[in-house]
Amino acid sequence: MAGRETLEELVRLQGERVRGLKQQKASTEQIEEEVAKLLKLKAQLGPDEGKHKFVLKTPKGTRDYSPRQMAVREKVFDVIIGCFKRHGAEVIDTPVFELKETLTGKYGEDSKLIYDLKDQGGELLSLRYDLTVPFARYLAMNKLTNIKRYHIAKVYRRDNPAMTRGRYREFYQCDFDIAGQFDPMIPDAECLKIMCEILSSLQIGDFLVKVNDRRILDGLFAICGVPDTKFRTICSSVDKLDKMSWEEVKNEMVGEKGLAPEVADRIGDYVQQHGGVSLVEQLLQDPKLSQNKQALEGLGDLKLLFEYLTLFGVADKISFDLSLARGLDYYTGVIYEAVLLQPPAQAGEEPLGVGSVAAGGRYDGLVGMFDPKGRKVPCVGLSIGVERIFSIVEQRLEAELLYKKNPKLLNQLQYCEEAGIPLVAIIGEQELKDGVVKLRSVTSREEVDVRREDLVEEIKRRTSQPSCTC
């Protein structure tokens, strides 16, 4: 038998020959003949007990957490759980997989992203896609009609991952939901209040919460001439307006989904509008939209919602955005999505949304889909996109120290402004002599000398959050 190194070289050369023939689109007979030679050479080579044939890596779209990353994760979870509990929520848990039929037909076009498992013990199972459908199944199964709950757990989606932007195939969701019959818009307003509280507490940058209503969208599609059978698929296209231009979305509607161009243009006149309660009032006077019962109900509820949001002190963070569609099939009323804002490139420009970090909405019909008698339990909830938040916090921690022998003070102050750090402690030769620390407010640029023994208390005083009156 030839030496192992010689055989390995022959296998390599023969493999290149086979690949070359395939690229040249050689005849099947010729390729098969050369493949047979390659297999014969590999058989002579035999197994190599000394080599590992597997690659050490996590599966695509998943990650390990280092101790440093776990510390970030726990800090973020503490903020979120603290807010959920403050608002009176109880915690539940459900299995990581469900019967396949439980998840089927609940997610519209996104259903293709569900991970199906092989038949085990006569049951067809799927990994949970979110925490909302399992919650609805839990309510129906236990005949519950009233609960305020939170649930933090991993979910699974067979999606194209984008790890740097916090988009994975296995990831955590942090859900808060209110189930039960209550006066209109009060639970919905509380969910939006909670979303704003959490994002403000995490200090990850400016954000905006976009709000819309599925009834307004359905009414809008009806008056524009969209066939009933195309409502959901057109809704999915509209939802892409945060990532694509109107022309690209229109081309998808017309070219791929068969919508008439004039119908798409009518939709475009509406879905490119956004604003506050004044836009709601303007659309209530719209001669066509106001004649649609569904749209009128949705607009009336949104007007009431803005009244509660004003009382909660978060209306300035909310934008009524007609392009928000949320593709999931189970939403029936108000829908919302929080995006982080990128500062405007030029003065006078509007800030740009750079990614969703929370979302949710009302789903009054989902529990009834599981109840044998079809009994409905009204529900509304939100989900915090913690993986994206983890990524943002981790990136900021990477820049906590400037590894320079003599860093310039201006560079350090500029970093503090960008990172949202409120206070800077400056110690120079004079401060050392005087036994003080110069404390600088990053936003106002005001500087005060503080005695070293008083520094901790002064920082606590300046950074303490006002107590919550929820």
Q: Which residues are annotated as a binding site for L-histidine?
A: 130-132, 157, 173, 177, 326, 330-331
Give dist(CA 122, CA 106) in Å, integer: 23
Give dist(CA 142, CA 152) in Å, integer: 20
Give dist(CA 436, CA 418) in Å, integer: 27
440, 453 Cβ separation under 8 angstroms: no
E strand spans, 158-307: 170-179, 207-213, 274-275
What are φ and ψ of residue 173, in 5° steps? -120, 145
Identify which of 413, 213, 186 has the alpha carbon closest to the alpha carbon of residue 308: 186
Give dist(CA 44, CA 9) in Å, integer: 13
Per the annotation, binding residues are: 130-132, 157, 173, 177, 326, 330-331
User: How far are the Cα atoms of 20, 26, 39, 381 from residue 23, in angstroms, in the given order?
Assistant: 5, 8, 19, 54
Give dist(CA 400, CA 118) in Å, integer: 46
306, 317 Cβ separation under 8 angstroms: no
Cα 434-403-67 angle, rounded to 5 deg: 105
Give dist(CA 171, CA 186) in Å, integer: 30
Residues listed for the chain:
470
